[in-house]
């Protein structure tokens, strides 16, 4: 992982030599998230986004569970653009009662003339499980509740209708359930976006974890979704086998098997506010 960050810094230096004289490609993806995970996109300076992410229960629960609508997992978050390239965010999830925070920095932007062929963004997150201990006489130390994620996001907008993204990912858990599980987990994510009409796009997201790192009941997270541009914001509808919407959980703790029908319907809904410049 250390070498990954070195490569990123080299790309940053290279990008700086060209960025001032080239037009940057915009809207590789339409939102800060693809489905569960981050996209390469960042907010502009002074923008604040309120994000609600919602996942219902499993569709294969049948009519008794109203095909998953009787159950729900949710995350509420705030994302802020310190600069056009630097974003920070915080969130609270019902899953594990997690508190999370992240820092996101766009190292380089794809240029129209292809002198910089990809957009490169780095993301670092920390999440804390805030569940009460099973045994009140044995409280869990704060450090045991923490998990960290580091990602390098590389995306390219191939045309006005097609974009792809790679997400090499490293997750560190301070505490794991069994000795057979690794504290350090490596995964490679893949994402794509296809514009169907002016206001509707289809998205896909998949994270492949190297085998043998976690318990056998943990599955790779898969998601298929639709981005609907409503003018003021993008409304995202999803089908995924992951209950959580933070990296440490949907990458390392997904227990739903997509092939067995453990699919959940959900959505992301955001509202953007400008705290600097023109006000709404």
Q: Which of 10-14, 86-90, 132-136 has the highest mean pLDDT?
A: 86-90
pLDDT on residue 232: 65
**pLDDT tens string 35-83:** 999 999 999 999 999 999 999 989 988 888 888 888 889 999 999 999 9
Structure tokens at 151: 């990602």
- Interatomic CA distance for residues 16 and 38, integer angstroms: 24
The domains of the chain, with CATH numbers, are 2-274 (2.40.160.40)
pLDDT band with cut points at 50, 70 and 90 for residue 13: very low
**pLDDT tens string 109-118:** 999 998 999 9
Cβ atoms 68, 57 nearer than 8 A: yes
Burial of 231 (0-12, 13-18, 19+ CB in 10 A): exposed
pTM of the entire structure?
Answer: 0.85
**Closest to 253 measured CA to CA, from 173, 189, 191, 194:** 173
pLDDT on residue 156: 96
CA 106 to chain CA centroid, Å, is: 15
**pLDDT tens string 74-86:** 999 999 999 999 9
Structure tokens at 20: 């001032």
């Amino acid at each position: 992982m250390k070498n990954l960050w070195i490569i990123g810094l080299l790309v940053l230096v290279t990008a700086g030599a060209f960025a001032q004289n080239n037009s940057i490609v915009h809207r590789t993806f339409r939102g800060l998230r693809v489905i569960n995970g981050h996209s390469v996109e960042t907010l502009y300076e002074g923008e604040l986004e309120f994000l609600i992410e919602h996942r219902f229960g499993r569709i294969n629960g049948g009519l008794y569970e109203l095909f998953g609508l009787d159950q729900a997992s949710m995350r509420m978050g705030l994302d802020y653009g310190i600069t056009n390239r630097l974003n920070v965010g915080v969130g609270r999830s019902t899953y594990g009662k997690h508190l999370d925070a992240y820092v996101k920095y766009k190292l380089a932007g794809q240029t129209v003339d292809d002198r910089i062929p990809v957009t490169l963004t780095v993301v670092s997150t920390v999440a804390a499980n805030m569940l009460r201990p099973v045994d009140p006489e044995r409280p869990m130390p704060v450090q045991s509740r923490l998990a960290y994620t580091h990602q390098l996001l590389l995306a390219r907008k191939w045309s006005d209708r097609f974009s792809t993204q790679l997400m090499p990912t490293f997750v560190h858990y301070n505490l794991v359930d069994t000795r057979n599980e690794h504290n350090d987990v490596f995964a490679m994510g893949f994402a794509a976006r296809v514009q169907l009409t002016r206001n509707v796009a289809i998205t896909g997201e998949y994270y492949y974890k190297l085998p043998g790192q976690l318990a056998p009941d943990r599955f790779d997270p898969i998601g298929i979704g639709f981005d609907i541009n409503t003018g003021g914001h993008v409304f995202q509808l999803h089908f995924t086998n992951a209950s959580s919407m933070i990296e440490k959980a949907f990458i390392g703790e997904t227990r739903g098997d997509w092939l067995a029908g453990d699919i959940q319907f959900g959505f992301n809904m955001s509202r953007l506010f400008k705290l600097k410049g023109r006000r709404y």
